[in-house]
Amino acid sequence: MNFPRPTTSSIAGLIAPVLAITAGVLAAGPSAAQTPWPAPGKNITLVLPFAAGSGTDTTTRIISKDLGKALGTGIVIENKPGANGSIAASYVARAEPDGYTIFVTTNTSHSANPYLLKNMTYDPIKDFTPVARTGDLPFMLVIDPKLPVNSVAELIALAKKEPGKLSYASGSSSAIVSGATFGTLAGIDLLHVPYKSSPPALTDVIAGRVSMMFVDVLTGLPHVKGGALKALAVTTKQRSALLPELPSMDEAGVKGFDITSWQGYLGPANLPKDIVTKLNAEIRKIVETPSVKNELAERGMEAFSGTPESFDKFLKEQLAVWEKLIREAKIEKQ
C-alpha cells in the first residue's frame, strides 16, 4: 500500500499543536509547583543588630505581633549585637534570599558604618534588598542626675571648667556621632566610652560611672520618668512632638545640631520581588494602623512607611547625610 509522502506544511501542522501543549505545560509548571511564601510551618527570622531591651528591639516586637498574624506564620526575633551592628548586617548579607531571614536595622549599620569602620564586611546597598521603612527614633541627651546641671548650657559650662573629666556612653552609631558632634560644636573635651548596645551603656550612666549619653527616647524615657536620669534636650533640629517639653539641641544653644535615627526592614540582595511586595504591604498596613502607631508613639517612635523604591532612594541619600555628620564631627575610622 502506498501512503502519501508527508509535506513540510503537514509536518508543521502536526508539530504546532504539540509545541503549544508543551509550552503551556512548561509555563504552568513552575507556577503550579511553586512553594508559597511563607511556607506553612516555616518561621521568619527578624535579625536585629542591637540587644534585647533596645529601642529597635522593642518596636520590632510590637510590629512583629501583627506581622506574624498577617503572614500566617511564626516570627522569631534574633538579637545579634556588637561591632556597631556589623555582626548582624554581615549575617543577613550572606543569608539565602528566600524571605525567611530579614534584617530590621537603623542608620547605624546602613548609614554611618561605612564612614566609621575601616574594615566593612558588607556593602549597605549592594548586599541588601530594601523592603520597608518603619519610622524614626528620636534621640535625647540624658545625664547622671547627680551632675550639678539642669540645662545643656550648664553642662557645656561644666565641661569647659573640667576639660576631659566628663564622659559620654554610646551603644550605637547615632550615640557615637551625637556625642562627637556635641563635643565639636560646643567646643568641649569629652571622653567617649563605647558599649555593644544601649541598655548596658545606660546602666552605667544611671550608676554614675559615665556622665551622659545620647539615647533613643524609647530606651531612655522610662528612666527619665523614674528619676534615674535627667533629660536635657532632643537631637532633632526642632522639638519632638513626642517630647514637646524638651528643647532641641539647636534651641538649647548647640547651633546646627540635627541628628535623627531611622528604622527599616531589609532582606538579603536578590530577594524576590513578590516577597518584597507582600512583606512591604503587610508592614505598611501594620505601621499605619492607628492603635499600633499610637503604641509606638508612646514608646518614642514616630511610625510611618512607604514603598521599597522610596526606601531605596532614602538609604542612598542617608549615606551622604551621615558622611557629612561624621566628617564634621571629626571622627576617625576605627
- Dump pLDDT digits (tens) for 217-237: 888 888 999 999 999 999 988
Q: How confident is the model at residue 198 (pLDDT cuts 50, 70, 90)?
A: confident
Give the CB-side neighbour count of residue 301, counting CA atoms within 13 A: 29
Cα torsion 264, 281, 218, 310 to 10°: value is 40
Q: Does 34 fall in a domain? A: no
Q: What domain range is 237 assigned to?
A: 139-252
Domain termination site, one of 215, 232, 252: 252
Residue 125 and residue 199 in one domain: no
Angle ∠(30,130,319) on CA atoms, nearest 5: 150
pLDDT of res. 46: 98
H helix intervals, 187-225: 198-206, 217-225
Provide the CATH number for the domain around residue 303: 3.40.190.150
Given a cut of 50, is residue 249 above it in pLDDT? yes
- Dump pLDDT digits (tens) for 268-289: 999 999 999 999 999 999 999 9
pLDDT of res. 22: 44
Domain termination site, one of 196, 228, 252: 252
- Dump pLDDT digits (tens) for 102-148: 999 999 999 999 999 999 999 999 999 999 999 998 899 999 999 99
Q: Does 5 fall in a domain? A: no
pTM of the entire structure? 0.81
Q: Does 27 fall in a domain? A: no
Distance CA 264, CA 107 (A): 9
Residue 86 and residue 118 in one domain: yes
Q: How large a percentage of the chain has pLDDT more than 70?
A: 90
- Dump pLDDT digits (tens) for 34-60: 678 999 989 999 999 998 988 899 999
Domain termination site, one of 213, 229, 252: 252
Residue 165 and residue 231 in one domain: yes
Single-letter amino acid code for the residue at 304: F
Give every CB contact of residue 148 below 8 A, 6+ residues apart in sequence: 154, 158
- Dump pLDDT digits (tens) for 140-176: 999 999 999 999 999 999 999 998 899 999 988 889 9
Q: Does 188 fall in a domain? A: yes
Provide the CATH number for the domain around residue 188: 3.40.190.10
The count of domains in the chain is 2
Residue 102's closest CA among 82, 63, 62, 131?
131
Residue 149 and residue 86 in one domain: no
Q: Which three cell numbers stand for residue 304?
A: 510611618
How crowded is residue 303: how many other Cβ atoms within 10 Å of its Cβ?
24
Q: How confident is the model at residue 24 (pLDDT cuts 50, 70, 90)?
A: very low
Q: Does 10 fall in a domain? A: no
pLDDT of res. 34: 61
Sign of CA dihedral 233, 239, 243, 245: positive
Distance CA 201, CA 193 (A): 8
Distance CA 144, CA 229 (A): 6
Q: Does 164 fall in a domain? A: yes
Q: What's the burial of 236, exposed, middle or buried (CB within 10 Å: 0-12/13-18/19+)?
A: buried
Residue 101 and residue 148 in one domain: no
Cβ contact 105:88 at 8 Å: yes
Q: Does 313 fall in a domain? A: yes
Given a cut of 90, is residue 17 above it in pLDDT? no
Residue 246 and residue 152 in one domain: yes
Q: Which three cell numbers stand for residue 182?
A: 556635641
